[in-house]
């Protein structure tokens, strides 16, 4: 009887251990991104590389994101009547340090619509720089406005021709692959696939334009002071050079005529 009892207990323990091993792993919380009222949580399954940015109410790896408790800064996951509370730990939380590849980086840039986004941003920056330069040159006399506009257009075209978005994409892919890990790039790609990520990309040119509208007047307001500083600096340098110059030898007075 004792032998049979020990066998049943052992069988029960083995069965329990097997069931626990078969349970899906609890996801890890690796980050949170808030865009206005929208919050997305970076979740990952330890060991299998599965990652995603998910909002409350969504599902990930069989778990539902049932709530976010802002006062406690914790995320609640639910599965089969079981609740698990996740809190973002400080520092790296099991994030894979696997080196990213150029393909990983290009996948993110494709999600970002890199060529389109950079093309729009450069076009808007070109217009902003043209407006600023025109305003700066407005006080200079003796320059034909039409000729200056044509010259400025040539200068801008030459400058921005070196910033071809198609060519820059390869450079950015290299930078991303060197700076980010594979899992970090996967997280970025996941985010840019969400509505919030798409909105961020689509609205970047508009954000830049509005930013330039704030920055440019401040820069123009500072120009008189900058010009005066340049004038003062030139005077200081001239005075310094004059002070350092060797004194001219004294010219002897002519001898008196007897």
Least confident range from 8-22, 25-39, 94-108, 221-235: namely: 8-22
Summary count for the chain: helices (H), strands (E): 8, 7
pLDDT per residue as tens digits for the range 107-147: 999 988 888 888 888 787 777 777 766 666 665 666 777 77
Q: Are residues 107 and 234 in the same domain?
A: yes
- Look at 69 and 92; give whichever has higher pLDDT: 69
The pLDDT of residue 10 is above 80: no
Around 251, how many Cα atoms within 13 Å sit in the side-chain half-sphere? 1
The residue out of 74, 95, 116 marking a domain boundary is 95
Residue 114 lies in a domain: yes
Mean pLDDT check: name the lowest of 26-30, 70-74, 93-97, 235-239: 93-97
Over residues 197-206, mean pLDDT: 85
Residues counted in the chain: 258
Q: Contact at 8 Å (CB) between 98 and 181?
A: yes
Same domain? 83 vs 145: no
- One domain for residues 79 and 157: no
Confidence of residue 57 (pLDDT cuts 50, 70, 90): very high
User: Is residue 140 one of the residues assigned to a domain?
Assistant: yes
Same-domain pairing of 61 and 110: no
Tell me: do 214 and 168 sit in the same domain: yes
Asked if residue 221 and residue 171 are part of one domain, the reply reads: yes
Contact 205, 48 (CB under 8 A): no
Q: Which residues contact 169 (CB under 8 A, 6 or more apart)?
A: 106, 109, 114, 115, 118
* Residue 199, C-beta contacts closer than 8 angstroms, at least 6 positions apart: 35
Same domain, 45 and 70: yes
Comparing CA positions, the residue from 37, 72, 32 lying closest to residue 54 is: 32
Query: What pLDDT is recorded for position 254?
Result: 64
The total of structural domains in the chain comes to: 2
Average pLDDT of every residue of the chain: 76
Domain that holds residue 107: 102-180+203-239
CATH of the domain at 88: 2.30.30.830
Query: Distances from the Cα of 67 to the Cαs of 72, 81, 103, 248, in angstroms?
Result: 11, 14, 35, 86
Do residue 121 and residue 72 come from a single domain? no
Per-residue pLDDT at 59: 92
Top-confidence residue, 254 or 69: 69
150, 107: one domain: yes
Considering only 79-93, 103-117, 197-211, which range has the smallest mean pLDDT?
Answer: 79-93
Q: According to the model, what pLDDT value does residue 19 have?
A: 35
SS3 label, residue 94: coil
Q: Are residues 110 and 221 in the same domain?
A: yes
* Final residue in a domain of this structure, among 73, 95, 117: 95
Q: If DSSP codes are grouped into helix, strand and coil, which group holds residue 69?
A: strand
Verify that 82 and 157 share a domain, yes or no: no
Same domain membership, residue 132 and residue 224 = yes
**Does residue 249 form part of some domain?**
no
- pTM equals 0.51
């Amino acid at each position: 009887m004792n032998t049979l009892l020990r066998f049943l207990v052992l069988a029960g323990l083995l069965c329990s251990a097997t069931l626990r091993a078969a349970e899906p792993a609890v996801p890890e919380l690796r980050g949170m991104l808030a865009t206005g009222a929208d919050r997305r949580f970076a979740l990952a399954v330890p060991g299998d590389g599965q990652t995603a940015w998910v909002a409350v109410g969504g599902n990930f790896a069989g778990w539902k994101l049932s709530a976010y408790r802002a006062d406690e800064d914790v995320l609640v996951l639910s599965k089969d009547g079981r609740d698990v509370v996740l809190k973002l730990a400080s520092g790296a939380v099991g994030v894979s340090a696997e080196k990213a590849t150029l393909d990983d980086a290009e996948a993110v840039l494709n999600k970002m619509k890199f060529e389109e986004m950079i093309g729009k941003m450069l076009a808007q920056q070109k217009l902003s720089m043209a407006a600023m330069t025109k305003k700066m040159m407005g006080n200079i006399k003796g320059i034909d406005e039409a000729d200056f506009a044509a010259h400025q257009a040539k200068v801008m075209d030459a400058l921005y021709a070196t910033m071809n978005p198609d060519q820059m994409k390869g450079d950015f892919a290299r930078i991303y692959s060197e700076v980010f890990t594979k899992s970090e790039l996967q997280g970025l790609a996941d985010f840019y696939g969400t509505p919030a990520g798409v909105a961020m990309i689509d609205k970047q040119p508009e954000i830049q334009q509005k930013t330039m509208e704030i920055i440019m007047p401040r820069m123009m307001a500072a120009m008189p002071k900058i010009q005066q500083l340049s004038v003062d600096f030139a005077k200081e340098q001239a005075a310094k050079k004059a002070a350092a110059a060797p004194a001219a030898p004294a010219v002897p007075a002519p001898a008196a005529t007897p």
